[in-house]
Amino acid sequence: MKFAQPKEQQRPEILQRQQRLKMARSAQAYVRGSTVKFYEWLKTAKGKVPEGPPIWICGDCHLGNLGPVSDAEGNVEIEIRDLDQTVIGNPAHDLIRLALSLSMAARSSDLPGVTTALMLEQIMIGYCEALKSGKAKPQPSKESGKPIRIVLKEALSRKWRHLATERIEDVKPTIPLGRKFWALSKREHEEIRALFETKEARTLVSCLRKGAKDHKVEVLDAAYWMKGCSSLGRLRYAVLLGVGKNYCLIDIKESVEAAAPGKKSSAVPRDYAQRLVAGARALSPYLGQRMVPAKFGGRSVVIRELRPQDLKFELDQITQEEVVEAAKFLAQVVGRAHARQMDAETRNAWLTTLTSRKKKALDAPSWLWTSVVELVAAHEAAYLEHCRRYALSMV
C-alpha cells in the first residue's frame, strides 16, 4: 500500500500523533520520550540529590542513548550517542536517568523487583570504578554478552551496505519515499543544497572523507526524516551525498533549548547547536568529531554523518544476570565520559560524596534508591494516563 506523502504544513500534526503512539507502546518507551517529566520531578527533589561538580552531562542518559559509535577513521567505542539535552550540570542527573531507564527495562522483561536493587549496586560500582582511574576503558564482561558484546560485534562488522539497506532500504543513490522518508518542498531542496555549500558543511565532509577536497561534493537526494521519539516534531532531514565515487549519509537535526537544568557558564554557547556539539566533544569524542553546528531556515541544526557502526542498545527480554552486568558496564561508560572532564582532586571529592548515605541492606546510596523508586512510580502512573488520553482513541 502506497503511503500518502504529507505536505510540509501537515507534518506537525502527524509527528505529534506518531510520538504519542510510540510513547504508548510500553512504560519503557514512555520514559524514553518523556525527558521533561524527569526534570519536572527533579524540581521537587531538592536536597535528595547530591550536587556534583559542574561538567558537561548528557542530560537524557537513558539506555537508548548509549551504544557503539565510530570515529572518522572507523574506530569504534561505546559512548553516549545522543546529546540533544547536553548541558553543564550535575553528573548525578545522568546516573539517576540511566538507573530509571534500566529499571523500566527490567520491568518490561518481567524481572523481579530485587533486580532493580542489584542494578543500582552495580551502577554505583561501575561508575565509581571509572572515576577512580579517570582514563579506564570499560570492557563488557562475558556475563553481559547478549545485550552488550553482540551489539558491539555487529557494529565492528558493519559496512556501508548495511547502513544503506537499514536506513534507506537500498544501496542505490536515492532515498525511497514512504512512511519514514517524506518528500521535500522546493524551498527545502534549495536550502539543503545551499547548506552544503557553506564552509561548515564542507569542512565536515572534508574531515570525514579523505580526498574530499579533490572531489565534487554533490547532494544526490534528500528527504524529511520521521525518526526518534522525544525529538519528533523538530526539523529532521536525511541527505545522501556523493563524494567522488563514494556515498555519505548525513543527518540534519534541529537543536532546541535543553530541558535539563544547567549551570550558567561562559563555556556554554548560547546557540543551541553549538551547545550540543560542545557537549558531544566533551562527553563522546568519537561522535563529536563528526558533527558541526549550522543554520537551516533560520534555525539551529547539527549536521552529522551517519556511520554503519553507530548502533543503540535494546534490552528486550533479558535475564536478571544480563541486565545487572549491563548496568555496571553502561555506568562505566557514563563514568568515563564524566571523569575525563575532572582532575584527580575533583574526582576524589565526587567519589566521597557518591559513596555516602548508603542503606544498610543495599550497597548503593539511599538518594539513588529513593530517586528511582519515586521516578518509577511517577512514570508508571503517567504512562497509564498517557495511554488513556491518546492510545485508546487510536485503537
pLDDT, residue 241, reads: 87
pLDDT, residue 27, reads: 85
Q: Kindly report which listed range (169-173, 176-180, 231-235, 298-302) carries the lowest average pLDDT score.
A: 169-173
Examine the pLDDT at 156 and tell me if it is beyond 70. no
- What are the residue ranges spanned by the domains of the chain? 24-157+314-394, 169-305
The predicted-structure confidence for 200-253, as pLDDT tens digits, reads as follows 787 777 776 665 565 677 889 999 998 766 566 789 999 998 877 778 889 999
Average pLDDT over residues 278-294: 93
pLDDT, residue 215, reads: 62
Helices 344-354 and 114-133: crossing angle in degrees, nearest 10, is 160
The predicted-structure confidence for 10-40, as pLDDT tens digits, reads as follows 888 888 888 888 888 888 888 888 888 899 8
Model's pTM, two decimal places?
0.86
Please state the separation of Cα 281 from the chain's center in Å. Answer: 14
What is the average pLDDT value for the chain, to the nearest integer? Answer: 83
pLDDT, residue 146, reads: 56
User: Which runs of consecutive H residues, i.e. helices, occur in the chain?
Assistant: 11-24, 27-33, 35-43, 91-108, 114-133, 150-157, 160-167, 186-195, 199-208, 272-283, 285-288, 320-339, 344-354, 366-386
**Cβ–Cβ under 8 Å, residues 115 and 38:** no
Q: What is the pLDDT confidence band of residue 366, given thresholds at 50, 70 and 90?
A: confident
Helices 320-339 and 91-108: crossing angle in degrees, nearest 10, is 160
Examine the pLDDT at 111 and tell me if it is beyond 60. yes
Q: Kindly report which listed range (3-7, 302-306, 373-377) carries the lowest average pLDDT score.
A: 3-7
Q: Dihedral, CA atoms, 30, 257, 191, 284, nearest 10 degrees?
A: -80
Is the model more confident about 133 or about 296? 296
Average pLDDT over residues 133-139: 57
Residue type, 85: Q
pLDDT, residue 134, reads: 52
pLDDT, residue 162, reads: 46
Percent of the chain with pLDDT over 70: 82
What element of type H or E holds 252? strand 246-254
Q: How far apart are CA 259 and CA 34, in angstroms?
A: 11
Examine the pLDDT at 316 and tell me if it is beyond 90. no
Phi, psi torsion values for 186, nearest 5 degrees: -60, -40
Phi, psi torsion values for 320, nearest 5 degrees: -60, -40
Q: What are 77's three cell numbers?
A: 567505542
The predicted-structure confidence for 179-205, as pLDDT tens digits, reads as follows 888 999 999 999 999 998 888 787 777
